[in-house]
């Protein structure tokens, strides 16, 4: 039996993304631009029948999915929320302006905090900690669905998708520093029974519009 397609989506622009503020677990909604572009993202996968969707507990992921559905123009499918795919908890950095912090601590330390594998933040999570909650959920809940041929859509957050991609693509601890999930892009995978990507079965679909490559 043909395995299903795994589709990973980062929520579109939130109010705090726009302001350059570390959001973490704070429940901030999308901007109007984010709503509009979420619908456009839905059109990128309109040719794929979705059997199941998962979203995080933050409303920006649910709002992204709701507007993607408008673009996909598909019939209803089950949607489940899970804290396992919540955004990284940025602890004491939550609510701070990223670019002001960058000036304060320097480029190297800033990039280590944002992209490093096991870089601690006070009272928050490392990417490794996100991996340790997201990957078990993926293996126990999502992979079995994919193995039965179901197409599964996951709408989550940049760090969570990086953590999942690290496992799926077997990316090294050092290599994950170079990986970023851009807003406006969608990852599609065909995976084996271990949940690892099948060679040459990864696809990236992105909106070809101004702002697609904006870094938040």
- The rounded distance, in Å, linking the Cα atoms of 163 and 179 is 10
pTM: 0.95
- Active-site positions read 11, 87
Residue 52 phi/psi, 5-degree rounding, is -155, 145
* 211 pLDDT higher than 60: no
Strands 185-191 and 6-10: antiparallel
Q: Are 40 and 181 in contact (CB under 8 A)?
A: no
Closest-CA residue to 68 (of 145, 183, 201): 183
Domain 16-206: give its CATH code.
Answer: 3.40.50.1240
Average pLDDT for residues 6-28, to the nearest whole number? 97
Domain ranges of the chain: 16-206
**What integer pLDDT is reported at residue 63 of this predicted model?**
98
Please state, as a whole number, how many other Cβ atoms lie within 10 Å of the Cβ of residue 28. 18
Report how far residue 55's alpha carbon sits from residue 12's, in angstroms, rounded to the nearest whole number: 13
Max intra-chain CA distance, the chain: 54
The string of pLDDT tens digits covering residues 145-200 is: 999 999 999 999 999 999 999 999 999 999 999 999 999 999 999 999 999 999 99
Distance CA 65, CA 54 (A): 9
């Amino acid at each position: 039996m043909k395995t299903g397609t795994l589709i990973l989506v980062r929520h579109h622009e939130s109010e705090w993304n726009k302001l350059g503020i570390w959001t973490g677990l704070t429940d901030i909604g999308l901007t109007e631009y984010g709503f509009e572009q979420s619908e456009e993202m839905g059109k990128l996968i309109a040719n794929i029948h979705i059997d199941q969707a998962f979203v995080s507990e933050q409303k920006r992921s649910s709002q992204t999915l709701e507007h993607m559905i408008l673009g996909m123009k598909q019939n209803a499918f089950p949607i489940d929320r899970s804290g396992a795919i919540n955004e990284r908890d940025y602890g004491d950095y939550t609510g701070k302006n990223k670019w002001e912090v960058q000036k304060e601590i320097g480029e190297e330390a800033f990039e280590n905090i944002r992209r490093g594998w096991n870089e601690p933040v006070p009272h928050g999570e490392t990417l490794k900690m996100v991996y340790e909650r997201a990957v078990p959920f993926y293996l126990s809940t999502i992979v079995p669905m994919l193995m039965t041929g179901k197409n599964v859509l996951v709408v989550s957050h940049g760090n969570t998708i990086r953590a999942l991609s690290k496992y799926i693509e077997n990316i090294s601890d050092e290599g994950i520093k170079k990986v970023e999930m851009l807003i406006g892009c969608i990852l599609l995978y065909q995976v084996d029974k271990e949940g690892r990507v099948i060679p040459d079965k990864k696809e990236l679909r992105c909106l070809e519009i101004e702002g697609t490559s904006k870094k938040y």
